Every structure is written in structure tokens, then in C-alpha cells.
């Protein structure tokens, strides 16, 4: 009985890609820290939970709508393997959207409309935007970047320079990663959804050049961010390693051949983002 419950929780975590929720929570917290002020504790807790539930809703709906595609591209997904039912994913998504919107109502009008906007557009993305060239990719990048601005607004309406640069970096890395994901999913997207994503429209090679453009913008923004912070013995190596991984990603883009190569790039950029956020967290406490 206990093991069944643990297995179900594990499946839900995989369904919702809960590691993304953890990253969003960290991004919101950093947005608060770098705003220069701190909100009441209950505002901070609600402010973190609202986007976390939004993220869980979006990914649950994604798997519900992408069952046919995942049977081709990702055969280990919980709905494909039968660990969770499609009806559970759909109902869980509606529940999380509702909780997310309800929680955001207590944060003020601007945070409320940010959460409401992304709840509406995440549904639109899953139903249609993801099938369009570049638009869906940029939306996902935007959803990865807005937590820094959102966290800032929980504390102050004056957006700090650091949070603005973090927004630019996350936007470009997020967009780049989603284009790579579109390259990975070309076969399933074309067969199961009749999509017209960027790689389907202009091909893998040209899409990789677009990815390179977004990664380079992130690297330039990182250099500007470096000048805004005081790094410690711990945070500085993490920052350098994060930057180095982006350099590796740029170099690797010229030698991509198999689907595993593209997956490798997505892993590298995600690790780079995580290390960068950890570096900034340590740097903050070095002030």
C-alpha cells in the first residue's frame, strides 16, 4: 500500500517534471532577493506556490495532449506506460490551474495577472502554439524567464538590473532549449500532430544556427551580469563552470548528428542554468 503511494507520487513528479517546479521556485526566490527588499513571509510562500502549481498544470496538460506523440518520441512517459491514466492527468491539470490562479489572487493585481496570463497561454501553447514555428519556443523561454521579474514584483515594482539580466539570460537559454527539443521531436510532431515547428520548416541545420544565436545572447548577458555581482570562493567557480558549459554547447552545435546529441545539448544547457542560479545564490550571501 505504501509502496503504491510512493510509486504514484513518483509518477506524478515525472508527469509534472517537478524539477522544473524546483527551478521556478528558486528563480522566484532569487527575484525576491535581488529586488533589494523582502515581502512578508506569507506573501513569499504563496508567491512561490502559485507558479509551482502553474508549472505542474502545464506539464500535466502537455502529457495529456501529447500521448500519441510521446508513443513515438518518449515511450517512457507515465501516460504512455500506463502508470497514470489520461483522465487523471487532465483532471490534475485543471486542479493545479485552479489552485495556482486562486493563490495568485492574494498577491495583488500584477502578480495575479502574470499567473493568469501564463495559465491561459500555457493551455494555448499545449493545444496549438507548440505546433507553430518559433512562437511556441519563445513562449517557453518567456515562461522560464518571467519568475525573476515576478519575484521582483512580489517585493518591489522597481525591477533591479540583476533581475532584468537574469530575465534575458533565462529567456534566451529557454528558447534555445525548446528549439532543440523541437528538433528532437520532429518525427513525432510531424506524424502525430501535423506540426509546423521551426525544424520542420527550415531543417535541423538552420535551426541549430538559430539555437546558437540565442545561446550567444545568453553568454553576452552573463558577462554583463558578472560585473553586477561580488563573487566568493564558492560562487565564482560555479559561475565560470556555468559559462564554460554554454561555450561547450556552442561548439557542440556544429557536430550534432543523432537524437542523443541534441538531448546532450539540452542537458548541458539545463545544468548550466542550474549552476548559474546556484552561483548567484551564493554570490548574494557574499554581499
DSSP labels, the chain: -HHHHHHHHHHHHHHTTHHHHHHHHHHHHHHHHTTTS---HHHHHHHHHHHHHHHHHHHHHHHHHTHHHHHHH-TTSHHHHTSS-HHHHHHHHHHHHHHHHHHHGGG-HHHHHHHHHHHHHHHHHHHTGGGSTTHHHHHHHHHHHHHHHHHHHHH-SS--HHHHHHHHHHHHHHHHHHHHHHHHTHHHHHHHS----HHHHH-HHHHHHHHHHHHHHHHHHHHHHHTT----TTHHHHHHHHHHHHHHHHHHGGG--SHHHHHHHHHHHHHHHHHHHHHHHHHHTT-
Determine the Cα–Cα distance for residues 213 and 96; give it in Å rounded to an integer: 35
C-alpha cell at 65: 495532449
Percent of the chain with pLDDT over 70: 94
Res 164: pLDDT: 93
pLDDT tens per residue, range 106-151:
999 999 999 999 999 999 888 888 878 888 899 889 999 999 999 9
pLDDT tens per residue, range 154-205:
999 899 998 999 999 999 999 998 898 888 877 777 776 677 888 888 888 8
User: At residue 24, does pLDDT exceed 60?
Assistant: yes
pLDDT tens per residue, range 218-276:
888 888 877 777 767 777 888 888 888 888 887 877 776 676 777 778 888 888 888 88
Res 114: pLDDT: 95
36 — alpha (psi -120 to 50), left (phi > 0) or beta?
Answer: left
C-alpha cell at 116: 493568469
pLDDT tens per residue, range 40-91:
999 999 999 999 999 999 999 999 988 888 787 777 888 888 888 999 999 9
Chain center to CA of 19 = 10
List of domains in the chain: 2-284 (1.10.357.140)
Amino acid at each position: 500500500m505504501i509502496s503504491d503511494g510512493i510509486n504514484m507520487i513518483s509518477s506524478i513528479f515525472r508527469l509534472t517534471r517537478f524539477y522544473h517546479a524546483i527551478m521556478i521556485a528558486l528563480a522566484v526566490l532569487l527575484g525576491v532577493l535581488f529586488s533589494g527588499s523582502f515581502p512578508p513571509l506569507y506573501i513569499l510562500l504563496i508567491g512561490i506556490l502559485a507558479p509551482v502549481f502553474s508549472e505542474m498544470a502545464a506539464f500535466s496538460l502537455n502529457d495529456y495532449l501529447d500521448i500519441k506523440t510521446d508513443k513515438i518520441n518518449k515511450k517512457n512517459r507515465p501516460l504512455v506506460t500506463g502508470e497514470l491514466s489520461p483522465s487523471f492527468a487532465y483532471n490534475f491539470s485543471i486542479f493545479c490551474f485552479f489552485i495556482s490562479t486562486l493563490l495568485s489572487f492574494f498577491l495583488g493585481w500584477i502578480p495575479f495577472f502574470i499567473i493568469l496570463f501564463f495559465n491561459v497561454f500555457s493551455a494555448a501553447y499545449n493545444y496549438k502554439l507548440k505546433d507553430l514555428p518559433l512562437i511556441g519556443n519563445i513562449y517557453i523561454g518567456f515562461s522560464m524567464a518571467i519568475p525573476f521579474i515576478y519575484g521582483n514584483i512580489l517585493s518591489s515594482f522597481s525591477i533591479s538590473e540583476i533581475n532584468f539580466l537574469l530575465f534575458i539570460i533565462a529567456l534566451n537559454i529557454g528558447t534555445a532549449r525548446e528549439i532543440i527539443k523541437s528538433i528532437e521531436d520532429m518525427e513525432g510532431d510531424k506524424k502525430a500532430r501535423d506540426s509546423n515547428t521551426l525544424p520542420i520548416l527550415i531543417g535541423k541545420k538552420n535551426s541549430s544556427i538559430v539555437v546558437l544565436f540565442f545561446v550567444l545572447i545568453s553568454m553576452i548577458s552573463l558577462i554583463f551580469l558578472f560585473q553586477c555581482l561580488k563573487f566568493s570562493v564558492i560562487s565564482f567557480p560555479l559561475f565560470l563552470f556555468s559559462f564554460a558549459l554554454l561555450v561547450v554547447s556552442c561548439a557542440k552545435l556544429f557536430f550534432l548528428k543523432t537524437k542523443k546529441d541534441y538531448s546532450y545539448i539540452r542537458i548541458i544547457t539545463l545544468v548550466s542554468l542550474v549552476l548559474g542560479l546556484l552561483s548567484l545564490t551564493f554570490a548574494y550571501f557574499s554581499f
